[in-house]
Amino acid sequence: MFVVGGESLIDLVPETRAAGSRRIAHPGGSPYNCAIALSKLGNDTGFLCPISTDAFGDTLLVPLAEAGVAVLIEQRVVAPTTTAEVSFNDKMQASYKFTRGAERAFSRAALLAALPQDLGLYQTGGFCPIEPEDAAIWLEVVDAAIGRGAVISVDVNWRDLLVTDRDGYIGRLNGFLNKAHLIKVSDEDLAHFDPALSIEQHIEGLLARPNCKLVVVTLGEGGSLAFTAQGRGKAEIWSPPVFGDTVGAGDSLMAGILTWLDETGVLKPGALGRLDDAALAKTLRFGAVVAGLNCGQIGCKPPTRQEVDAVLGMP
């Protein structure tokens, strides 16, 4: 099973770009989005996050069920669902204002008890390193996943509005990155670490970490890059016929990359590091189509595997 651990929330998205436009509730959260995208691409997927008993919690459960994602913490919590007020710039790129709640209402015992024994991949990141007490527990989950033989992937998703202690956050995030076999970052994430370094310098440092074999960098409209010790790949974005917005594009791309790596038999620490230029380009292309199809929707609505195959001309 693939398991994604981390936040779920409700994106409160303006109906139009006009001032005072009413907001529409869309299920979201980077780990939540990625879990749904993974399942819709045909992977046996579980989501590790508490869900509230409130109406927004009911809303979150519907897409999980429709996609066939296993909700690993079955007991719902009374804390209110985390929300994110979404706004868009002129390029329809999203920014967020968060009010946190149910996704933090977990215990060490509950998370570890819900983690499956049969575990091929564990993905984390997002909000998990932000608060010290949360990070300590989530790191124990990562260690448990490693003990069960899982590949560890980390999607950074730096949320500057939530980071009140930059040095402390970086220290906690480093704890996650040092355990990861695969790391995904955006160019904006890298700039938060150190804007004076080039992408290549950042990548050199990430690949030098104890376990990292593959790094993926998203560049917004510039597409994506991938790096291993043996190669470098690049893919342009895939543009849908009708554009919606970019909500969940990076999460969908990550799900596509993980799916392709698994299907090609290389989602293993020993194999990831041997990917060459051609293999990395194919991996990113698959992810770009998944992300592009999601961008044809309003809010995060990842594509099915059939929709992706129709674009790529696969049987």
Confidence (pLDDT) at 293:
96
Unique residue bearing structure tokens 């981390």: 6
Cβ atoms of 135 and 128 closer than 8 Å: yes
Q: pLDDT digit of tens for each residue in the chain (315 aa)?
A: 999 999 999 988 787 665 566 888 989 999 999 999 999 999 999 999 999 999 999 999 999 999 999 999 999 999 999 998 877 777 666 677 899 999 999 999 999 999 999 999 999 999 999 999 999 999 999 999 999 999 999 999 999 889 999 999 999 999 999 999 999 999 999 999 999 999 999 999 999 999 999 999 999 999 999 999 999 999 999 999 889 888 889 999 999 999 999 999 999 988 999 999 999 999 999 999 999 999 999 878 999 999 999 999 876
Reported pTM: 0.94
Q: Where in the chain are the domains?
A: 2-6+30-79+104-312
Q: What is the pLDDT, as a whole number, of residue 93?
A: 66
pLDDT given at position 314? 73
The hierarchical CATH code for the domain 2-6+30-79+104-312 is: 3.40.1190.20
Q: Encoding tokens for residue 159?
A: 């949320």
